[in-house]
């Protein structure tokens, strides 16, 4: 038997050929015209898992696109690792901006171009081939499970019920997801936090009809004045959210975490220039990276009311509107935050203002201690492949399924990305750097080996 690395080197061309074959299937989950293609990509995946040596391969039909399961459970006493990924891809419009057709993969300048090359078929493929190589070498040192969906690009409607239903079958010691990016070329990172989200829409009414400002101005409530006065109470002068209890569940930043986040060394002056900002502003006492990654926020996404046309209209608007989203961290409870924001709005609405508040999305934050052994081993594995230890970051965005996995399976989630932020995901000319393809395979093989040297949690 040959070593996994020798195996991967030896079969590299065949593997890239296989990946290209998969990438040529237009599994666009959002478009019903591609429903059969998406099913074909699931079948292709199931066969690839089977060929790699995995067992119990199953294509589970759902109300939408199938979920593919496979496992290899022959390492008693060793940790169980669950790999999540997705085989569906984004639509390709505008097609004319692609240098080569999105479903005719092509390698140019060390990069593989195709829709799905980095998001997520290309990254997910690394896990299949790492497993194949370890199995071929007779060295797969962990129990391995795959749970791959085809609806990530359409908000995963059928995944949470599947997780709940198959909780026992999916039980594991670590969840491994490669659907993100390095910090920059040669600088691996592991995301240890994603912010949660909640949203609401506010309608404020003061009168049955719009009123003429000549006849009524100064004597009746103006919905816009009432709205701006109300919305202005949401933040204080230090940039803190002034809603009672808003920060409940927000962890204090430890000196260690601040030091870790500082490693991202964002050049705030350069960033300000790039975004065309006069100033970077935010909660007093925190850096930009802390504010956007490790602190919650409340943002007005839209505000409107009254006359928006050309010229002057002397109207006193009867109603005004606002859309608000909060990004949450730590243990903040989305439903509770929504309720508290709503209570704040009701308590601060001026006389004559009637409020209607429609709650919207809710998703909890995801957070993991970088000191957790499975994260430290992941950083070790990156170091072995890249020569640089991964740093631990906090992302300000929200990926609801990550929190869903963590909560449903009660296992640590390792967000181990091999893409780059510049690889045009969701855009024309999506691509994947083959350098990271190779280093990704090395990292994953090394990671599974390191995990296999541990006792299960």
Residues numbered 228 to 247 that lie near a copy of itself (CB under 8 A) are 228-229, 231-232, 234-235
Residues numbered 309 to 348 that lie near a copy of itself (CB under 8 A) are 311-318, 320-321, 323, 325, 327
Partners of 202 in the β-ladder:
322, 357
In the bound complex, what is the minimum distance in angstroms from residue 309's beta carbon to a copy of itself?
Answer: 8
193 binds a copy of itself (CB under 8 A): no
Contact criterion met (CB below 8 Å) for 147 and 170: yes
Among 160, 306, 373, 452, binds a copy of itself (CB under 8 A): 306
* Nearest to a copy of itself of 282, 373 (CB atom): 282
Residues numbered 349 to 368 that lie near a copy of itself (CB under 8 A) are 350-354, 360-361
Q: At 198, which helix (H) or strand (E)?
A: strand 196-205
208 binds a copy of itself (CB under 8 A): yes
Residue located via tokens 């949401």: 234
Among 145, 295, 344, 394, binds a copy of itself (CB under 8 A): 295
219 binds a copy of itself (CB under 8 A): yes
In the bound complex, what is the minimum distance in angstroms from residue 220's beta carbon to a copy of itself?
Answer: 6
Q: How far is it, in rounded angstroms, from Cα 141 to Cα 428?
A: 39
Residues numbered 376 to 435 that lie near a copy of itself (CB under 8 A) are 395-398
In the bound complex, what is the minimum distance in angstroms from residue 110's beta carbon to a copy of itself?
Answer: 28
Residue located via tokens 């045009």: 424
How many CA atoms, within 13 angstroms, populate the side-chain half-sphere of residue 414? 28
270 binds a copy of itself (CB under 8 A): no
Would you call 144 helix, strand, or coil by DSSP? strand
209 binds a copy of itself (CB under 8 A): yes
Partners of 256 in the β-ladder:
none
308 binds a copy of itself (CB under 8 A): yes
In the bound complex, what is the minimum distance in angstroms from residue 229's beta carbon to a copy of itself?
Answer: 5
300 binds a copy of itself (CB under 8 A): yes
CB neighbour list of residue 137: distance below 8 Å, 6 or more residues apart: 1, 2, 3, 4, 7
Among 222, 332, 367, 424, binds a copy of itself (CB under 8 A): 222
Contact criterion met (CB below 8 Å) for 152 and 377: no
Would you call 372 helix, strand, or coil by DSSP? coil
225 binds a copy of itself (CB under 8 A): yes
Residues numbered 95 to 154 that lie near a copy of itself (CB under 8 A) are none
Q: How far is it, in rounded angstroms, from Cα 156 to Cα 323?
A: 24
Between CA 124 and CA 135, with CA 129 as vertex, the angle to 5 degrees is 135
Q: How far is it, in rounded angstroms, from Cα 36 to Cα 29?
A: 10
Among 77, 109, 138, 218, binds a copy of itself (CB under 8 A): 218
CB neighbour list of residue 254: distance below 8 Å, 6 or more residues apart: none
224 binds a copy of itself (CB under 8 A): yes
**Per-residue x/- track, 275-294, a copy of itself (CB under 8 A):** xxxxxxxxx----x--xx--
* Nearest to a copy of itself of 7, 246 (CB atom): 246
The sheet carrying 196-205 orders its strands as 319-328, 196-205, 354-363
In the bound complex, what is the minimum distance in angstroms from residue 387's beta carbon to a copy of itself?
Answer: 28
In the bound complex, what is the minimum distance in angstroms from residue 337's beta carbon to a copy of itself?
Answer: 14
Count residues near a copy of itself (CB under 8 A): 77
Would you call 272 helix, strand, or coil by DSSP? helix
């Amino acid at each position: 038997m040959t070593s996994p690395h020798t195996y991967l080197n030896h079969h590299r061309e065949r593997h890239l050929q296989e990946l290209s074959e998969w990438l040529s299937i237009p599994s666009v989950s959002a478009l019903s015209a591609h429903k059969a293609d998406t099913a074909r990509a699931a079948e292709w995946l199931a066969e690839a898992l089977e060929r790699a040596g995995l067992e119990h391969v199953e294509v589970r039909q759902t109300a939408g696109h199938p979920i593919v399961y496979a496992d290899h459970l022959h390492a008693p006493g060793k940790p169980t690792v669950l790999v999540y990924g997705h085989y569906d891809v984004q639509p390709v419009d505008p097609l004319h901006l692609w240098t080569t057709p999105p479903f005719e993969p092509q390698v140019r300048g060390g990069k593989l171009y195709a829709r799905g090359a980095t998001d997520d078929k290309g990254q997910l493929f690394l896990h299949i081939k790492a497993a194949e190589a370890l199995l071929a070498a007779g060295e797969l040192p962990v129990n391995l499970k795959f749970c791959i969906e085809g609806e990530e690009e359409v908000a995963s409607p059928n995944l949470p019920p599947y997780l709940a239903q198959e909780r026992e079958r999916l039980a594991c010691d670590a969840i491994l997801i490669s659907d993100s990016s390095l910090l920059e070329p040669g600088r691996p990172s592991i995301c240890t936090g994603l912010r949660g989200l909640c949203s609401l829409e506010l309608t404020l009414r003061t009168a049955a009809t719009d009123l003429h400002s000549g006849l009524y101005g100064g004597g009746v409530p103006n919905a816009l004045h009432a709205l701006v006065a109300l919305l202005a109470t949401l933040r204080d002068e230090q940039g803190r959210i002034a809603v009672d209890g808003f920060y409940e569940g927000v962890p204090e930043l430890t000196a260690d975490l601040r030091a870790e986040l500082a490693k991202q060394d964002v050049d705030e002056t350069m960033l300000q220039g790039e975004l065309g900002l006069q100033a970077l502003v935010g909660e007093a006492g925190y850096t930009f990276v802390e504010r956007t990654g490790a602190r919650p926020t409340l943002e007005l996404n839209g505000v409107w009311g009254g006359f928006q046309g050309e010229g002057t209209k002397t109207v006193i608007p009867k109603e005004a509107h606002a859309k608000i989203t909060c990004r949450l961290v730590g243990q903040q409870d989305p439903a509770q935050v929504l309720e508290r924001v709503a209570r704040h709005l009701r308590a601060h609405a001026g006389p004559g203002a009637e409020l209607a508040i429609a709650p919207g999305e809710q998703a909890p934050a995801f957070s993991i201690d970088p000191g957790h052994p499975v994260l430290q081993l992941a950083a070790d594995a990156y170091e072995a492949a890249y020569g640089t230890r991964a740093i631990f970051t906090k992302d300000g965005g929200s990926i609801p399924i990550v929190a869903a996995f963590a909560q449903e399976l009660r296992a640590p989630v390792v967000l181990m990305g091999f893409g780059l932020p510049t690889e045009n995901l969701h855009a024309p000319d999506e691509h994947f750097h083959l350098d990271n393809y190779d280093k990704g395979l090395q990292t994953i093989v090394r990671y599974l080996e390191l995990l296999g040297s541990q006792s299960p949690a």
